[in-house]
Each structure stands twice: as structure tokens, then as C-alpha cells.
Amino acid sequence: MTNFINALNDFIWGPPLIILMLSTGVYFTVRSGFFQIRYFKYIMQQTLGKVFKKQEDSDEKGVLNPIEAISTAIGGSVGFGNIAGVATAIAMGGPGATLWMWITAFLGMLLKQVEVTLAVYYRRTDENGDPYGGPTYYMERGLGEERNFKFWKVLAAIFGCGIFSTFFITASNYTVSEVVASTFKINQLVASLFIVVCTYLMIWKGMKFVGKVFTKLVPLMSVSYLVFGLLIIILNYKNIPHTFSLIFNGAFSGSAAVGGFVGAAVSKVISTGMARSVYSNEAGWGTSPMVHASSKTRHPIEQGLWGSFEVFIDTFVVCTITSLVVIITGEWSSGVESATLTINAFTMGLGNFGKYFLTVTMLIFGLTTSTGWYVYYEVVLRHLADKNAKLKNAILKVFKYCYPLPGFIMTAYILYVGEISIWTFVDITSGIPTFINVAVVLALSKQYFVLLKDYKARYLGVGTVDESVDIFYEDKLVREKREVA
């Protein structure tokens, strides 16, 4: 069974998906005129520049303001994947996996901007007047309604199943409870139950409450993690040249710590780096666009800028800190992996304080990741129930009661039945929906470039504004209805 699971993972994250992601990212990057480079300063001004400003109430439709949306989305992506996932990538693929994470993230800055833009453009308003959207929505409207592609439901079903497979196969509870139990010397099942209770408390008040909590928690924990990570790097500054040598040389030669230093094939380095990048920043996965689609924004591209910012912060900042700490302390070659590897590196750099700090950070990041994903599932369930309000409310209520339980069950299974390859399952569950979503985004690329041209004309002074362009799909439906009448 283990051989089959590993073979399936190698197939999913094999040449087809790698080529699709890299070529799609290159296509959007080149055709947009390297937007993420040329307009990097503008992206930062429109995102980071607004973080410290008071958010005023907007007349735009939406459940969340942009800061709440980005905090929820980053909360769903910045988490144990940045700490445990990155460490595992380096242990399995060697330091060279870091470079492939960077390459994937560079292209992912545009790819995520595109999927967020499409999610906002094609979103739908529910019976309460609140907008919701995501990949299944732009599959229905972009492929089904606009292009008359009859099999959009098949793609949506595969995508939805891929997303919901993470509901049953989740590494969050086990990984975090293992760290908490080890650090504080308690039973891991008790730690797992504690995480379940905390998750219930977080999700019980709904999406808007989660957004407000994340607005406070995510920036605080992210900044703290970066500060202490940078401190370790500074304390080991003499190893910086050697660290970057390992990263760049290993990216094209392969060197892994786990497995007796037999070395990882270059293909393994690439696939491991890309898989961890996607799992961490979620570019191409189609998850965080479900949050962004509910945000108050004047233009789809404007919200798409937050998608680019999200990838930059997640991978180029947070994941890079993890990678450098693990490599620069020499712990990457210790033979351990996952969160234990990162904790060992922080302990070596900061003593027991590093161990306790990272454990608390893992706990909070684990909760933000778990509750962020709850929002993703809710969006898919809302679309599944469509306009049947009674069915929708019933499904969401049952789901809210059940949501934290699979993580606890998986933790109990691993503890009392036997070890399973958590990260292999994680890669499989992320790879399937990513393949579908990236292919669909590529098919809908024309709409993105129409919106990008319109946004640049309206807000960047590039070109002339075309008043016939519909900024939102529902505006288009209203116009067409008016023209028919």
C-alpha cells in the first residue's frame, strides 16, 4: 500500500503538473509584462501600505474588508506548512528545494493574482446579498455559461473532491499536537483534544469573526516568527555564504538528508520544492480565492494584488526564514524532518526559549490554518447547495459540528494503529485540485487580461478606459438583461 501511495504521489507531482504550473506561470508573467516585477512597488503600496491604515466602511458588496480577507487567506496558508512542510522539503529534497520554492513563488505571485481576480469577477450573491466565489464558481460561469462547456461540473466535482479530501486527510492536528505534547510533556491525544476545542471556539461565530481574529493574530505571530528567525540567522552570519551555496548547487544536483545521504534526484528536488511552495502559499491550489471572493473591493484586479502580496509574504519571507534557519544551523542534515527539524534549529539558535516560542507559534499557526480552511470548505458547500437555503443551512450546521473531528481521528489512528506517510497524503490532496484549477485559470486567461487592461487604464494611467468593459460578471448579466428588454 505504501508503494502505491508513493507512486501515486510521484505521478501527480510528476512532469505533467510541473510543466503545467511552470508554463502557466511563465505565460501570465510574460504576457502581463512581468507585472509582479514592474509593479512590485505599487503592489506593496496597495497592500502592505494599507495594513497600518484604519479601514473605513465601504459601500462595496462583501462579507470581509480587504484586510480581513487577506488575514484569513494568509491564516489559511501561513501555518505549520511554513514550519513543518518547508523543513520536510529540505530533509527530503535537500537545500536545493528552497530555490524551487522561490521559482514557484515568483510565478505564483502572478498565478494567484489571476485566480483571485477571476474569483472576484465571477462571484455570485447569495440570498442575503453577500458575495461568494471561488474556482467552482468561475468554472460554472466562465466555462459553463460563457463558453458553453458542458463538462464544467465534472471539473468542479474533481476539484471539490480534491479540496474535501483534505478534510479527511489532514496533517495539522497530528503535527501540532505532536509538538505541543513533546514540549510540554503531556499525552499527545490530550493535546489533540485541546486543539479540537480551540478550533470549535474559533469557527463557531462564522467567517466574519474568523476574519477579525486573524486580523490580530496573523500579523503578530508572523512578525514574531520573522524577528526570532532573523536573529538566529544573524547569530550564524558566518554560515550564510555556505548556506546559499548549498541552496543553489543543490537545486540542480540534489542532496537529501533523510535516507542516509544517498542524495535526491533533481526531479525529486524540483517536485518537492514546488509541492511545498503550493502547499504553503496555495498559489494555483484554488483555496484562498474562496476567501478573497467575499471581500469588499472596487475592482477584481485590486483584490488580486492581495493574492500576489500573500505569496510574497508566505514564501519569500516566512518560508525563506524557515529554510535559512534550518540550513544555517546545520540541523537540516540531522536526519529528522517535519516540525521537529525546525524546533531543533530554533533550540540550537535560541536555547529553550526557541523551543517554547516555536511550539506556541506552531499551535497558533495550526489553529489559523485549520480555521482558514473551514472558510474554504464553507464556500464549496454553499455552491453545492446552490439556491436551496434550507439545505445550505442544514449542511453548514452539520459541517460546523463535525469539522474538527477528522484531525483528531487521524491523530488517534497514527498513535494507536500505525504510522502513515502524512506529507505524501498532503501532496496528493493538494496536487489534484491544483491541476484542475491551473488548467481552468489558463482557459479563462482572456478575461483576466481584459480586467488587467481596464484596471491599468482606470488606476495606473496606462491606456484609455473602455466604458463597455464590465468590471464584475453580475454587471454583465444586468447589462445583457437590460439590452434584451
CB neighbours of residue 158 within 10 Å: 14
The pLDDT value recorded for residue 67 is 54
Which residues lie closer than 8 Å to 349 by C-beta, 6 or more apart?
231, 232, 235, 236, 325, 329
What does pTM read for this prediction?
0.82
| CA–CA distance, 326 with 338 (Å, rounded to integer) | 11
3-state secondary structure at position 295 = strand
Quote the DSSP letter at residue 314: I
The pLDDT value recorded for residue 208 is 60
| CA–CA distance, 354 with 351 (Å, rounded to integer) | 5
Q: Using an 8 Å Cβ cutoff, are 85 and 279 in contact?
A: yes
| CA–CA distance, 18 with 357 (Å, rounded to integer) | 36
Quote the DSSP letter at residue 317: I
The pLDDT value recorded for residue 2 is 64
- Strands (DSSP E) contained in 59-210 are 124-125, 131-132
- Give the helix/strand (H/E) hosting 43: helix 40-46
Domain 1-51+60-484 adopts which CATH fold?
Amino acid/polyamine transporter I (1.20.1740)
User: What is each CA distance from 319 to 6, 102, 121, 295, in whole angstroms?
Assistant: 25, 9, 30, 26
CB neighbours of residue 311 within 10 Å: 29
Q: Using an 8 Å Cβ cutoff, are 382 and 126 in contact?
A: yes
**C-alpha gyration radius of the chain:** 22
Q: Using an 8 Å Cβ cutoff, are 380 and 392 in contact?
A: no
The tens place of each residue's pLDDT in the chain, 485 residues long, gives 567 777 777 777 778 888 898 899 999 999 999 999 999 999 998 887 776 565 554 555 544 555 555 555 455 455 667 777 788 788 877 888 888 889 988 999 999 999 999 999 999 887 777 788 889 999 999 999 999 998 999 999 999 888 878 777 777 788 888 888 888 899 999 999 998 888 887 777 655 666 566 666 667 777 888 899 999 999 999 999 999 999 988 877 755 444 433 444 566 677 777 776 776 777 888 887 888 888 878 899 999 998 998 889 888 988 899 999 999 998 888 877 777 888 889 999 899 999 999 888 888 887 777 776 777 777 777 777 767 778 878 888 888 888 888 888 888 888 877 655 666 777 777 888 999 999 999 999 999 999 999 999 999 989 899 888 999 998 888 888 887 76
- In single-letter form, the type of residue at position 471 comes to I
Q: Rounded to 5 degrees, what are φ and ψ at 471?
A: -75, -30
Which residues lie closer than 8 Å to 53 by C-beta, 6 or more apart?
none
Q: Using an 8 Å Cβ cutoff, are 262 and 335 in contact?
A: no
Q: Environment class of residue 105 by beta-carbon count within 10 Å: exposed (0-12), middle (13-18) or buried (19+)?
A: buried
| CA–CA distance, 434 with 428 (Å, rounded to integer) | 10
The pLDDT value recorded for residue 420 is 58
Half-sphere exposure of 462 (CA within 13 A, CB side): 11
Quote the DSSP letter at residue 333: G
